[in-house]
Structure 1
């Protein structure tokens, strides 16, 4: 058991090092923040509803990028398979064009497996984003590894997520990559929190994202 714990900690440390040291070639790098407050309600043992309000900054934290409100649900079909769907509305700061709304819906499926104290998951998500000016189709593939430390309330994790374009003429090209590492931990009886760092790559630039999340469960 001790060897398994050392292996799990070593795996997380290795993946964390890869995330923190990765170099992505881009002309521009923006420092941003994401802050999210959410609720989750367990309607049934296998069915959970959720809603979140998120605030994002941009331009080295000097201005608001967007506000986002979402509602959704997930259902655990099998011990290793969860499916979900949701809707989001974004109120975005387009600078000279002003503030405008954008909408998004998604459906996803998540496979999960546990090896001793190591948690593995693979999520595939289809999303359609649209507004009066644009529409976008994406397939998001996320691989996540977390480690449940014995006798500790902190749970470190790392994840890699790839966005593939599904629109006409995109040819399934990689449109965005996210490399994320963080810690999740309980705050109180029904509250849980997460602090993370994410490196985002896109063709027109990269972002350093520093984020916090607080979720209330009932």
Structure 2
């Protein structure tokens, strides 16, 4: 029995060593980014919502990397279905070149359903960007599943989500994004949000860690 146990332990150690060596051999690159955002939401009509979101992005040394502003129009077709269209204008600050200005757009359909205190949503989006730092224009389908939980008598609303980015040119998975965060209700219509995103690139030995702080105002 002791010999069998020793063999099992030895096998597990070999497996762990192999996995560890493989992970080191891949030399995975980890990038870090910080984002700040202000989101303003208006409802000019009952089924129509307009979102305006300026955002600043900082690199690992907390130097301004990009600034952008996004406008989004949402229309509630059914109680469970919302259609959206967004336009994003980006100013790409570069050290050795002039600032580059870019335009991006997206179209989305979001299905939402409440289950007791859980709010689930599935969003299908077409976009010509992957929310990355590169400037290439590529077509993507993005599938996002998210869940929020309304805690009774609490101003904090936690949330988790996962999103798959599929590149249409090659029909391959470009990256996965996992996110966890929370919104804190300061007072009526005003929220402070914090979240962490982890981008896992399927075809590259690269990960990205994104910490975001945002302020939301609903008019």
TM-score normalised to structure 2 length: 0.80
CA contact (8 A) 1:33 1:61 kept: no
Matches within 5 A, 1:146-165: 146-165=148-167
Q: Deviation at 1:98?
A: 4.3
Residue of structure 1 equivalent to 2:196 = 197
Give 2:106's aligned residue: 106
Query: For residues 131-167 of structure 1, what are the alpha-carbon distances to aligned partners after superposition, in whole Å with 9 as ceiling and x for unaligned?
Result: xx74211111100011111111111110001111013
Contact 2:158 2:182 in 1 (8 A): yes
Q: Give the corresponding residue for 1:62.
A: 62
Question: Is the 8 Å Cα contact of residues 145 and 159 (structure 1) preserved in structure 2?
Answer: yes
Residue 187 of structure 1 deviates from its aligned partner by 1.9
Residue in 2 that maps onto 1:142: 144
Between 138-147 and 189-198, the greater mean CA deviation after superposition: 189-198
Bigger radius of gyration, 1 or 2? 2
Q: CA RMSD in A?
A: 2.0
Distance 1:200 1:91 in 2: 22
Q: How does 1:24-173 map to 2 (within 5 A)?
A: 27-58=28-59, 60-129=60-129, 134-167=136-169, 171-173=170-172
CA shift at 1:190, angstroms? Answer: 2.5
**What is the number of residues matched between the two proteins?**
189
Equivalents in 2 of 1:95, 1:201: separation in Å?
Answer: 27
5+ residue gaps, structure 1, are: 1-22
Measured after TM superposition, the shift of residue 193 of structure 1 is 2.2
DSSP 3-state at the match of 2:187:
coil
The 8 Å contact of residues 34 and 62 in structure 2, kept in 1 or not, is answered as: no
1:8-49 per-position Cα deviation (integer Å, ceiling 9, x unaligned): xxxxxxxxxxxxxxx9x7621122111001211111121111
Please report the TM-score for the alignment, with normalisation by the length of structure 1: 0.80
Change in 2 beyond 3 A, CA 1:53/1:26: farther
More relative contact order, 1 or 2 (CA 8 Å, 6+ apart)? 1
**Which residue in the other structure is 1:176 paired with?**
175
Separation of aligned partners in 2, 1:61 and 1:187: 30
Q: For residues 88-136 of structure 1, what are the alpha-carbon distances to aligned partners after superposition, in whole Å with 9 as ceiling and x for unaligned? A: 011113444442111111110001111111111100000124xxx7421
Q: In the TM superposition, what is the alpha-carbon distance from 1:197 to its structure 2 partner?
A: 0.8
